[in-house]
Amino acid sequence: MTNLSNHQLFTLMFIFEVGSTTLFALGINAKQDAWIVILIALLIGLVFVWIYTELQNAFPDKNYAEIIIAILGKFFGIPLILFYILDCLWHTARNLREFGELINLTTLPETPLWIILSLFLSVSVYTLLKGVETLARASEIIFPILIIFMLSIYILIYISGDVDFKKLTPVLGNGIKPILQTLPSVVMFPFGEIFIFLMYWHYSNDKNSVRKTTVKAVLYSGMLLCFSLIMDITVLGPKFTSIATIPFVETLRLINIGNIITNIDIIGIIIIFFGGFFKMSIYLYAIITMLTTVFKIKNYKSTLILFSTFLLWFSVAFEPSYAYHIWMFPFDVHYFTIIYSNIFPFLLLMIYWIKKKRAKL
Amino acid sequence: MWIIEFLKKALEGRGFYPNLMVILSWSYTVVVVGILLCQLFLYLLGIKYNNDAFGKETSEKKKEQ
């Protein structure tokens, strides 16, 4: 039986939240006020964390797919789970693709994309074949490395003398409108994505602490993201941050301390890559669990291998280029992914409450 | 119709998969909102939901603690 400790859940959620988010300048449409967008989105995200954990508390031993069936019944529940699988496939494929592209753009420009993706995916599949506990234990090892790296990066940037806090002014110079317009995309990505842990929380060996652990993970990761964005803006300026392909890498490239500590962007990319690995693996495991739950498949391993082969093809085929990839964000958030991460869990909780009241009549 | 014009403009060039997801997601949202409204209606009419086990899982867990 799978059991995850609170610390393992915390590290998984933290790395998942930070994951690919460091690649993008979140909320940069609000220019120098993007950090305010992150903070507001974090607060709204915490409200949704309450909704997700309330659903989990209602059915402590069930995963999300089973919760959906318990609330909506098989007739309406199974189609919804299938749509969730399609939504998670979208996230997984995009995640796999963006980290493949990151390696292609920065370190291995001559290597075919599918080679990078297949190597990336095979490590993930190998880990998941060993079980979700192995993934959680790996996250415990990576977590301190990620934290130390991120913090040392900020210190090194500051020592390099590239930080100019005046670039954050004027605060609310363009009014509140750009912030409100950018807000929905950040509420969903990355904070709303935590809904996927509805597939993991039932593994917790201390179910009473799930909410507390999740709030902590979301809060700390949100603060780290906010700080990361402030660094990007103060170093690159809002204009360059908004047009740079990967702003974080551009910031890393500027680190130069006495011509001795320099060119550390490669180390940075490897560390960021860990985030992508965990994020993709978490989504992949969730998809496989949904599939095995809905179709009552007993052989988890062969489902994982077959699905991963399809995912490899899909991640290469579904997007023509990295420019298209960037163009699709925040379209995907506004038009469909927000429904799965924020709207459906809310509606399910409402239906659960009413059904529970009706059962007591 | 303005909605068709809006969708045409928004979905143009996005590809098959995202378009499929937009249509499926919004259609099913309508279905789930419909289920919610039906449940609300049944609750207001005072019709009992004949599933005593529903929601017991939570309360039993809480009692155990």
Q: Min CA distance, B5 vs chain A (Å)?
A: 16
The tens digit of pLDDT for each residue in A129-159 reads 999 999 999 999 999 998 998 888 889 888 9
Q: Which of A34-38, A264-268, A298-302, B35-39 has the highest mean pLDDT?
A: B35-39
Report pLDDT for B59: 53
Is pLDDT at B53 greater than 80 in this prediction? no
The answer to whether the beta carbons of residues A60 and B58 sit under 8 Å apart is: yes
What's the farthest any 2 CA atoms get from each other in chain A? 75
Task: Give chain B positions within 8 Å (CB) of A77.
Answer: none
- Cα–Cα distance measured from residue A32 to residue A223, given in angstroms and rounded to the nearest whole number: 17
Give domain status of residue A273, yes or no: yes
Kindly report the CATH number assigned to the domain that includes residue A29. Answer: 1.20.1740.10
> Residue A270's pLDDT is what?
78
A239-271: pLDDT as tens digits: 998 888 788 888 888 888 888 888 888 877 877
Where does the pLDDT of residue B57 fall: very low under 50, low under 70, confident under 90, or very high at 90 and above?
low
> Is A277 part of a structural domain of the chain?
yes
- Chain B residues within 8 A of A331 when measuring between CB atoms: 10, 14, 18
Q: How large is the ipTM?
A: 0.89
In a domain, A1, yes or no: no
CB-closest option in B29, B36, B65 to A351: B36
Per-residue pLDDT of A5-55, as tens digits, reads 999 999 999 999 988 777 788 888 888 999 999 999 999 999 999 999 999
* Two tokens, residue A312: 């490899």
The total domain count for chain A is: 1
pLDDT at A79 over 80: yes
Which residues on neighbouring strands pair with residue A262, listed in sequence order?
A256
Mean pLDDT over B21-49 rounds to 95
Residue B60 above 80 pLDDT? no
Nearest chain B residue (CA) to A359:
B49
Q: B46 or B8: which carries more pLDDT confidence?
A: B46
Which chain A residues contact residue B24 at CB under 8 A? 83, 86
Show the domain range for A243: 6-359
Determine the average pLDDT of the residues in A305-324: 92
When pLDDT is averaged across residues A68-90 and rounded to a whole number, the result is 96
**Of the candidates B28, B39, B65, which has its C-beta nearest A79's C-beta?**
B28
Residue B25 to residue A347, Cβ atoms within 8 A: no
Q: Which residue of chain B comes nearest to A340, CA vs CA?
A: B25
Out of A60, A86, A361, closest to residue B21 by CB = A86
Q: Closest to A339 (Cβ–Cβ): which among B25, B40, B42?
A: B25
B57 and A332 in contact by Cβ < 8 A?
A: no
- Which residues of chain B approach chain A closer than 8 Å at the C-beta? 10, 14-15, 17-18, 20-22, 24-26, 28-29, 31-33, 35-36, 39-40, 42-43, 46-52, 54-55, 57-58, 61, 65
Q: What is the pLDDT of residue A78?
A: 96
CA atoms within a 13 Å half-sphere pointing along the CA-CB vector of A182: 23
A344 pLDDT higher than 80: yes
Q: Say yes or no to pLDDT of B56 above 60.
A: yes
- Distance between CA atoms of residues A8 and A264, nearest Å: 29
Asked if A326 reaches chain B (Cβ–Cβ under 8 Å), the answer is no
What's the domain range around B20?
2-64
* A358·B31 Cβ contact <8 A: no
Average pLDDT score over residue span B13-27: 92
Specify burial of residue A302 (Cβ count, 10 A radius: 0-12, 13-18, 19+): exposed
- Tell if the CB–CB gap between A358 and B52 is shorter than 8 Å: no
Do A46 and A170 touch, CB atoms closer than 8 A? Answer: no
User: In this predicted structure, what is the pLDDT of residue A285?
Assistant: 96
Q: Which of A67, A57, A130, A128 is nearest to A286 (CA)?
A: A128
Strands of chain A, DSSP E? 256-257, 261-262
- Å between A239 CA and nearest CA of chain B: 26
CA distances A182 to A141, A186, A220, Å, are 34, 7, 21
Report DSSP letters for A318-358, one per residue: S-S-HHHHHHTTTHHIIIIIHIIIIIHHHHHHHHHHHHHHH
Give the residue among A20, A14, A15, A27 at the shortest CA–CA distance from A229: A27
